[in-house]
Structure 1
Amino acid sequence: MKHPKLVEITQRIIERSRETRADYVARMEAAKDSKVARSTLACGNLAHGIAACGSSEKDTLKLMNSANVGIISAYNDMVSAHQPFQHFPELIKNAVAGMGGTAQVAGCVPAMCDGVTQGQPGMELSLFSRDQIAMSTAVGLTHNMFDAALCLGVCDKIVPGLLIGALSFGHLPVIFVPAGPMPSGLPNKEKARIRQEYAEGKVGRDALLQCEMDSYHSAGTCTFYGTANSNQLLMEAMGLHLPGSSFINPYTPLRDELTKAAAEQACRITAQGSDYRPLYQVIDEKAIVNGIVALLATGGSTNHTMHIIAMARAAGVIVNWDDFSDLSDLVPLITRIYPNGSADINHFQAAGGMSLLVRELLKAGLIHDDVKTVFGNGLADYVQEPFINNGQLVWREGPEVSLDSEVISTAAQPFAANGGVKLLKGNLGRSVIKVSSVPSDRFVIEAPAVVLHEQDDLKALFDAGKLDRDCVVVVRFQGPAAMGMPELHKLTPMLGSLQDRGFKVALVTDGRMSGASGKVPAAIHLTPEALHGGLIAKVQDGDMIRLDANTGDLTLLVDESTLAAREAATADLASHQFGWGREMFAGMRQLVSGAEQGASVLFNSIQKS
């Protein structure tokens, strides 16, 4: 039986989205056709579309009686998570041919690595790359050659971008095909220790480099529970993966069998058959709520407080941070995966993985089972997990209890009573905070502000000992309109070190920290941002700020008359708007919505903050 509060929150999202959702569904229903898509093309159009195919593929495509599956790939061999996709098109084409169909690579999308660009100028393009990926996905599918699509992507902005773009073609069935995490390397706790020691000058760069290489050491997704692995969990919880496929390591027989099975399933669920499962029917209000619930139950990436909003809006569904916060109060934290624990994603998979997570949420009535998925008869079939039996892919019931209760617990005995993502409100604006990895004695911080316009400026203060005190570090002019909202991970080791010395510290920023944010309380995604008149632009060094994660309060403790008399600070952002391709994204900085509206340039009907 569903929890009444889950039903209530879902219903208010349905009511809020009634007009936009109805408009979206109407457009998708107008686009669907029981004939194969390419049959509508003129002979010259079709000749161009099949010119590079082999003779047998051309013969199949000319007959107009079989599915053609479009592949949208985020392959490149610089990003470890995406390198395995190099071999997927061949597996997919062979599998689809076995079903009597054809498959073509419809397009490739950019896939930058935040791990490479962290703290570099390129990071200021990272968030905007999501919308560019969405547009690139649309370009690939707009040829009208395809009856279904497979999206190959893993990492931070790539999966949200693929889904946003694919939703413009929501009349097509779409299955997401993961590549899987790399095998476990250096334990996360040890990695965090060495990073912090480097920040404190206790170890050199050679030790730090060896630590990072021992952590990120092979093809596959990074094994900590950041945005990339949150993406995979979301796709499965929303019914867009095959059950149990999210966290199977690359270059294994099971991984390849799941890739082939996804291709075969795409052929089964086209409009030409009797089991039509278009994307617009899979992604609805209940699916979006399921994604948020799964994210909260596992302590996933705070980036998704923006990405889910943007993905939902692409499907005509409107969600906001109140929904996240209210669901977080309802949903308990039932996993401990780094940075919310010491285990990595492979350990989560071994302890029971997605099948156990879905089982626990269903049992507690905290997730909707009456949804359409790309496989089976709804989310209840996602308590299964895949195996190879006598050379054949089969699904069996997953474990009913955790194989490691330190990694996966139960809804009845959770690690925390709530999902750890809270909405903070006050005169500074609205922001989110992730407290699932913050010690409870750090939930309330009241301390003087240390104001910065550049994350790099913190190091000089840290090295000079000027931060050896209680403080709230305010890093402003980091929002989407100012400089593309880069992640600010350079701050984490230093702030963590200060906290370990016994000081009460917190971060307030209109920038991002993502799923790798750690144990320091951080009010992030603050909106309105400084560039758009947010009060954060009037904060001065020494001002008292109160952050209370218990009550959801974020307040600048300066009287109104004093604030009214102050001039808002300005920042010279010219150095962040040219070079490294940043000048080409000027239009995006001008059009982008606020963080709570998804930080998107694609949906201008959403009011900017």
Structure 2
Amino acid sequence: MTKPLNDTVARVTERIAERSRDSRAAYLSRLDTASGKPRRQKLGCANLAHAFAACPADDKAGLRGDVKPSIGIVTAFNDMLSAHQPYERYPAFIKESVRAVGGVAQVAGGVPAMCDGVTQGYEGMELSLFSRDVIALATGVALSHATFDGVLCLGICDKIVPGLMIGALTFGHLPTIFVPAGPMPSGLSNADKAKARQLYAQGKVGREELLEAESQSYHAPGTCTFYGTANTNQMLMEIMGLHLPGASFVNPNTPLREALTDAAARRVVAMTAPNGGIPIGRIVDERAMVNGIVGLLATGGSTNHTLHIPAIAAAAGIQLSWQDFSDLSAAVPLLARVYPNGSADVNRFHQAGGMPFVIGQLLDAGLLHADVATVLEEGGLEPYRSMPELAGESGLTWRASATDQSGDPSVVATIATPFAAEGGLRVLDGNLGRGVIKISAVKPEHRLVEAPARVFDTQEAVQVAFRAGELDRDVVVVVRYQGPGANGMPELHKLTPPLGVVQDKGFKVALVTDGRMSGASGKVPAAIHVTPEVKSGGPLGRLRDGDLIRLDAEAGTLEALVDAAEWESRGAPPPPSEDAEHGCGRELFGLFRGAVSGAEAGASVFQFPGQSPGKA
């Protein structure tokens, strides 16, 4: 039986609503104004003719009048990203599905989609976080033609879904559904992949052996199967009611995936009818955002969402803080063990019950708002307990998920027997600034580290020190000048294998940085997103080699144990001499680096009404 709403969930939601009262009201007022503005029915004749000039005759006839709904497709297709390659066939397929229910669909525009897996550790990674805001801008351009009655967003990976969300919310008067493509089939196990990376970091295997292991891991169309930012995005869209139920983790190019895509296309047409559905700007309210944070915590999702969720919320007039995440984390148990928080991948997670089971557990515990709007016509979040399946000639249907028994207790837990009592995301405060740490993959014995600092300005310098054996001791590795204003806040993913090796040797080790670690955060305790960043005068810039640092993930503290007078007398050294403003397109993003907000405000270049810009 479903319990009343948890007190902490209720209190945090009320706090967010009160904090956001004026900015949310202003946003909804803009939605009402936009809803009243005419779209294609009142366009000038030349404008309208341009809009359907290339359409087939029947579609053209439909768009001339005001009866057939017009659906805009915003796609992140490219065929370099395995996750997005399946989208190549989607527009033609969607157009047929939309026609079948009396509508017309057009590709409104494409958005860039870069792959962090390709750029990790190289210059291109410094464009990655900013690509989210570029995608939001591109979504705005696509929808600016103002001819559409509904929207389908095709995107999956790290910055793409948040960017599509920010863009779609600026057109929040339109019914919108997000359409996933699903994860690739399972390849080399995550444990074997991690082992190969550590062996390579130690020089025990060569490049060819490592490349073979990686190629067996990332081997087919679809999302990478570990629970990083891309798959956390899919969880987020489902638990916020912007996917069809159970749609997140169905493999590409399967009959069930095609049936779900067809159903999404048909559903968005139905949402354009009077009283047929709720536009995205009203689905994404304070309750939906809290549900998204609860889902992040319950599944041990990507730390990148401590940036993305506040940025998405701001686009809907909702103001979040890291304290909201931390308070909810204390009340939400960990219900999933998916790599890097366990050995299983998202395919096993889905087979064990996946999102329908987790949502059901959270609903029954009163940890989710059940009475939210979704892309479905009615029922709130209750229909999201169900798993999609194909049932013979009857086609797509949904079956109720088990309510009390996981399909694999080693991967998905019940509320009664969670993997951990808390969600594992903590806010850290102290004289080194304010940051976040994900502890769901960090063993309890590694959550308190007190050790001398070794300070670096680049992750490449860390690698050099590791290979020289200089880190074979108790150490807190500090990597500074990695914030959004300095170099775009790249992920420092390549540091995981070497620091993991040091930890495995029995040393106490931690990472502290104003940069990011991504959905791959785990094993080694990492205080990340530390703000203010060093480029803006943040206190990490005062650290010197040998300073004693205490990182206590349980207590939520991050301190330099340095005499107070000595600490106050110090200034930050100059930034690294390497030119981080040119090459690989970085010169195009100087405006972004100069305008970006601090990490807790979402590291965003946008300033929405009521949003505090913070300072990077």
TM bucket (normalised to shorter chain) is over 0.9
Question: Partner residue of 2:595?
Answer: 591
2:439 is equivalent to residue 429 of structure 1: no
Structure 1 distance, partners of 2:261, 2:157, is: 18
Question: Partner residue of 1:153?
Answer: 155
Question: Partner residue of 1:138?
Answer: 140
Name the aligned partner's letter for residue 518 of structure 1.
G
2:502 is equivalent to residue 498 of structure 1: yes
Structure 1 distance, partners of 2:160, 2:187, is: 24
Contact 1:299 1:436 in 2 (8 A): yes
Structure 2 distance, partners of 1:502, 1:192, is: 18
Structure 2 distance, partners of 1:242, 1:566, is: 54
Question: Partner residue of 1:340?
Answer: 341
The alignment partner of 1:342 has SS state of coil
2:320 is equivalent to residue 316 of structure 1: no
For 1:242-257, list aligned pairs within 5 A: 242-257=244-259
Gap change, CA 1:573 and 1:418, over 3 Å in 2: farther
Structure 2 distance, partners of 1:90, 1:256, is: 12
Question: Partner residue of 1:22?
Answer: 25
Structure 1 distance, partners of 2:612, 2:58, is: 48
Q: CA deviation at 1:46?
A: 0.5
Contact 2:41 2:65 in 1 (8 A): no
Question: Partner residue of 2:291?
Answer: 290
2:418 is equivalent to residue 414 of structure 1: yes
Please give the root-mean-square deviation of Cα atoms over the aligned residues, in Å: 1.0
Aligned length, in residue pairs: 607
Question: Partner residue of 1:2?
Answer: 5
Q: CA deviation at 1:377?
A: 1.7
The alignment partner of 1:462 has SS state of helix
Question: Partner residue of 1:521?
Answer: 525
Question: Partner residue of 1:395?
Answer: 398
User: Alpha-carbon deviations, 1:54-77, whole Å to 9, x = none?
Assistant: 111111111211100000000000
The alignment partner of 2:520 has SS state of coil
Q: CA deviation at 1:28?
A: 0.3
Structure 1 distance, partners of 2:215, 2:564, is: 51
User: Alpha-carbon deviations, 1:445-474, whole Å to 9, x = none?
Assistant: 000000000100112211111111000000
Contact 1:537 1:570 in 2 (8 A): no
User: Alpha-carbon deviations, 1:327-384, whole Å to 9, x = none?
Assistant: 0011000110000000000000000011101000001110100100001421011011
Contact 1:28 1:171 in 2 (8 A): yes
User: Alpha-carbon deviations, 1:123-154, whole Å to 9, x = none?
Assistant: 00000000000000000001011000000000
Contact 2:277 2:375 in 1 (8 A): no
The alignment partner of 2:88 has SS state of helix
Gap change, CA 1:414 and 1:230, over 3 Å in 2: same
User: Alpha-carbon deviations, 1:367-411, whole Å to 9, x = none?
Assistant: 100100001421011011111122411112122221100000111
Structure 1 distance, partners of 2:277, 2:478, is: 51
Runs of 4+ aligned residues of structure 1 deviating over 4 Å after TM superposition are none
Given the alignment, which residue of 199, 203, 212 partners 2:201? 199
Q: CA deviation at 1:30?
A: 1.1
Is the deviation greater in 165-174 or in 555-564? 555-564
Contact 1:483 1:573 in 2 (8 A): no
User: Alpha-carbon deviations, 1:95-118, whole Å to 9, x = none?
Assistant: 110111100000000000000000
2:472 is equivalent to residue 471 of structure 1: no
Given the alignment, which residue of 572, 576, 581 partners 1:577? 581
Structure 2 distance, partners of 1:497, 1:239, is: 41
Task: List gaps (5 residues or longer) in structure 1.
Answer: none
Given the alignment, which residue of 44, 65, 68 partners 2:70? 68
Question: Partner residue of 1:489?
Answer: 493
Q: CA deviation at 1:34?
A: 9.1
Structure 1 distance, partners of 2:572, 2:275, is: 61
2:547 is equivalent to residue 547 of structure 1: no
Structure 1 distance, partners of 2:130, 2:312, is: 14
The alignment partner of 1:155 has SS state of coil
Contact 1:482 1:573 in 2 (8 A): no
Structure 1 distance, partners of 2:95, 2:36, is: 23
Structure 2 distance, partners of 1:504, 1:225, is: 26
- TM-score normalized by the length of structure 1: 0.99
For 1:197-236, list aligned pairs within 5 A: 197-236=199-238
Contact 1:112 1:126 in 2 (8 A): yes
Contact 1:70 1:105 in 2 (8 A): yes
Task: List gaps (5 residues or longer) in structure 2.
Answer: none
Given the alignment, which residue of 376, 379, 389 partners 1:377? 379
Structure 1 distance, partners of 2:507, 2:562, is: 23
Contact 2:26 2:317 in 1 (8 A): yes
Structure 2 distance, partners of 1:199, 1:49, is: 55
Contact 1:225 1:344 in 2 (8 A): yes
Question: Partner residue of 1:279?
Answer: 280
Q: CA deviation at 1:567?
A: 2.6
The alignment partner of 1:545 has SS state of strand
Contact 1:76 1:83 in 2 (8 A): yes
For 1:546-565, list aligned pairs within 5 A: 546-565=550-569
User: Alpha-carbon deviations, 1:271-328, whole Å to 9, x = none?
Assistant: x423231011100000000000001000000000000000000000001100000100
The alignment partner of 1:456 has SS state of helix
Question: Partner residue of 1:453?
Answer: 457
Question: Partner residue of 1:54?
Answer: 56
Question: Partner residue of 2:99?
Answer: 97
What is the aligned-residue identity percentage? 57
Structure 2 distance, partners of 1:550, 1:563, is: 25
